[in-house]
Chain A
Amino acid sequence: MTATNPAAAPTPAGSIYDLGYRHYEGKRNGRFYAMWSLFVESFRGVWGFGRPMTAKAAPFILAGIYALPAVIQLAFSSVIAGQISAGKSVELFTYGTYFAALYVFVFFFCVAQAPELVCRDQRYQVLPLYFTRAMGRIEYALARLGSLAAALFIVLLLPTVALFVGDVLMQPDAFKAAGEELPKALPSIPAAALIALGLGSLSLAISSFSPRRAYSAIGIVAYILLMEAIPAAIYSIGQTSATTWTDKLFLLSPVTSLIGATYWFFGQPIDPQYFQGSLAAADYLAAAIVAIGVAAAVLMFRYRRVPA
């Protein structure tokens, strides 16, 4: 059962080139390189690269739908410009209100792709392979979170770019218009970063508790919907009995607080049409930052404990 075993002899395919086993003497990078490698792999994974074609459908379709209205506005910018110069008032998407109007697609993006990132490794028990390499549990969680947040950041910024180009093209002097538009568009970057981290950390933290994609997806949907509905219900009950503190509960709603926080970045007051109660944009911003911290902490906690 040693070298005399026919199975042990090199197969014909390998015999010509078989140089025998060579030891690796080269460089071995540390944990940050491992994190970066996982980040890159996950980022590709979010978009379905390196996976079958079916894995690409959900992210690209959802990101496309989210950007579509902005692209349409861009495509019809000359028509719109004509109408504006004709004195008609046209309801346009702006940088500050785009997410509030279409957040549901970003939310679906999270529901579809966050479980993809963390459930597979638990379901197929790949985690021990990671945790016995240059990577610790915390690094693993951070790299996964980073890649989802980066993907969301791109999803969120795509329509902003389209809006920017559209707005510039509507003006007669494009160069001057670009200079004027840029300060208006720039707050989109920190706002997108905040939303990406907020939705990313929340959906990943919830996903990490189940190895099954379906349960994770249901968990994210249930959590976000309940946290939107319960404060609204309590608030409307509170209104009838003249209690004043019930509007604070809106700070617990992930999507409401993220939308509220974007008003802060754009320096606009809260739109009372969508926001009930007396909270300011800064309150929502603070709530969103706290929520990111809590979700990230829950994610780390989960990965400290997850069996491997």
Chain B
Amino acid sequence: MALIETTGLTKHYGPVKALDQLDLMVEPGIIGLVGANGAGKSTLLKILLGLLSPTSGRATVLGMDTVRETRAIRQVVGYMPEHDCLPPDVGATDFVTHMARISGLPRTAARERTAEVLRHVGLYEERYRQIGGYSTGMKQRVKLAQALVHDPKVLLLDEPTNGLDPSGRDEMLDLIKRTGTDFGITVVVASHLLGEIEQVCGYLLAIDAGHLLQAAPISHFTQRTPVLAVEVEEGADRLAAALSSRGARARQDGNRVLVAIESDALYDSVRDLVADLALPLIRIQQERGRLEDLFRDAPTAGSLQ
């Protein structure tokens, strides 16, 4: 059974289509949900939580319908919103305990879980202080803690690294990774930063303007491509021209020449040409796909023509 599944999911805000016929299947793991701002990431998460109802189509979480079985879903889902969501004049312990009880945990269990979860996210002595005095990094930890406190099976995180400095960002990502791998909780991380997704996620969903652009394991995007990159200090134009004249499909890209690998003979001709032209060679390597290429033209062999 797919953990999260949507079929023909559409959401309109007036004339604006936030989601347009979105079909998804999500398996357990750490899943990155990438898209530019306004691509429909938050809308998708809110529909999965039952905060918004879809204009058409349907979505299920753990096989439960998001419109009809909202309550059952909420028992097993934790949500960390993108925006600030913490009152400043209570302590983190009080706040998270309260949220645990609203999730239905009995009083003592709520206290125990709160202590445990706050320790997991790395809040120690400061957890009794009022949240208003916390740094952004600590607030993000409290937000994660309240999403985890009722031990959900699925965690939906909307821009969890918002507003964090680089080290805070790395700590948060690490926390997310541990949550996903050590705790066995499926985590969906919505982000517009591909670098973050690459660091923590095993699977990637790319959405753009409400459509599913790509859905595949991260490794799929970073595989080797059948393109050889030859980097030279100068004379890239001459090399490209020489390769083309030999029938290879080559294109100059700055001081690099990208050439399609059609047979092993290519390596020899590149070596010979570089030697013949006496070019200052820096490196020859096979191109790897990059996540960024999702939103650009990927360097496939076809694009070189």
User: Is B83 in contact with chain A by the CB < 8 A criterion?
Assistant: yes
Closest CB in chain B relative to A28 CB, distance in Å: 4
Set of chain A residues within 8 Å of B167, measured between Cβ atoms: 7
Set of chain A residues within 8 Å of B200, measured between Cβ atoms: 1
Set of chain A residues within 8 Å of B71, measured between Cβ atoms: 30-31, 134, 136
Alpha-carbon separation in the docked complex, A27 to B151 (Å): 12
Alpha-carbon separation in the docked complex, A23 to B105 (Å): 13
Interface size class of A (residues with CB under 8 A): 35 or more
> Would A133 and B103 count as touching, CB distance under 8 A?
yes
Closest CB in chain A relative to B291 CB, distance in Å: 15
- What are 18 A-B residue pairs whose CB atoms fall within 8 Å in the complex? A14-B119, A18-B119, A27-B109, A28-B103, A30-B104, A34-B102, A34-B104, A37-B102, A52-B130, A124-B88, A126-B85, A126-B87, A128-B81, A129-B99, A132-B77, A132-B79, A134-B71, A134-B75
Alpha-carbon separation in the docked complex, A24 to B119 (Å): 16
Given the contacts A21-B120, A34-B103, A50-B90, A1 and B199 also touching, CB distance less than 8 Å: yes
Contact residue among B89, B90, B177, B184 (Cβ-Cβ distance under 8 Å from A2): B177
Q: A1-B170, A26-B109, A128-B79 are in contact. List 10 more A-B contacts (CB 8 A).
A: A27-B106, A27-B109, A29-B106, A41-B98, A51-B89, A124-B85, A124-B86, A129-B146, A133-B104, A134-B71
> Would B86 and A126 count as touching, CB distance under 8 A?
yes
> Which B103-137 residues have C-beta < 8 A from chain A?
103-106, 109, 113, 116, 119-120, 122, 124, 130
Closest 8 CB pairs of A and B: A24-B151, A37-B101, A29-B104, A28-B104, A21-B183, A134-B104, A132-B79, A133-B102
> Would A128 and B98 count as touching, CB distance under 8 A?
no
Closest CB in chain A relative to B82 CB, distance in Å: 10
Alpha-carbon separation in the docked complex, A23 to B112 (Å): 12
> Would A28 and B171 count as touching, CB distance under 8 A?
no
User: Is A130 in contact with chain B by the CB < 8 A criterion?
Assistant: yes
A interface residues, Cβ below 8 angstroms from B:
1-2, 5, 7-8, 11, 13-14, 18, 20-24, 26-31, 33-34, 37-38, 41, 50-52, 55, 120-121, 124-126, 128-136, 308
Closest CB in chain A relative to B146 CB, distance in Å: 6
Given the contacts A24-B105, A124-B85, A1 and B113 also touching, CB distance less than 8 Å: no
Residue among B85, B120, B130, B178 with most chain A CB within 10 A: B85
Set of chain A residues within 8 Å of B109, measured between Cβ atoms: 24, 26-27
Set of chain A residues within 8 Å of B104, measured between Cβ atoms: 27-30, 33-34, 133-134
Alpha-carbon separation in the docked complex, A291 to B49 (Å): 35
Closest CB in chain B relative to A136 CB, distance in Å: 8
Quick one: closest A residue to B181, CB to CB? Answer: A2
User: Is B84 in contact with chain A by the CB < 8 A criterion?
Assistant: yes
Closest CB in chain A relative to B54 CB, distance in Å: 16
Bitwise interface map of B from 200 to 221 toward A, beta carbon under 8 Å scored 1, else 0: 1000000000000000000000
Set of chain A residues within 8 Å of B49, measured between Cβ atoms: 132
Closest CB in chain A relative to B255 CB, distance in Å: 30
B interface residues, Cβ below 8 angstroms from A:
49-51, 71, 74-75, 77, 79, 81, 83-90, 94, 98-99, 101-106, 109, 113, 116, 119-120, 122, 124, 130, 146, 150-151, 167, 170-171, 173-174, 177-178, 182-184, 199-200
> Would B116 and A22 count as touching, CB distance under 8 A?
yes
Closest CB in chain B relative to A6 CB, distance in Å: 10
> Would A37 and B170 count as touching, CB distance under 8 A?
no
Alpha-carbon separation in the docked complex, A134 to B124 (Å): 28
Alpha-carbon separation in the docked complex, A132 to B170 (Å): 27
> Would A5 and B85 count as touching, CB distance under 8 A?
no
Set of chain A residues within 8 Å of B184, measured between Cβ atoms: 23
Set of chain A residues within 8 Å of B98, measured between Cβ atoms: 37, 41
Residue among B51, B102, B103, B173 with most chain A CB within 10 A: B102
Given the contacts A24-B109, A132-B77, A134-B104, A124 and B84 also touching, CB distance less than 8 Å: yes
> Would B182 and A20 count as touching, CB distance under 8 A?
yes
Contact residue among A24, A26, A125, A136 (Cβ-Cβ distance under 8 Å from B84): A125
Contact residue among B77, B81, B116 (Cβ-Cβ distance under 8 Å from A125): B81
Set of chain A residues within 8 Å of B94, measured between Cβ atoms: 50
Residue among A18, A20, A29, A37 with most chain B CB within 10 A: A37
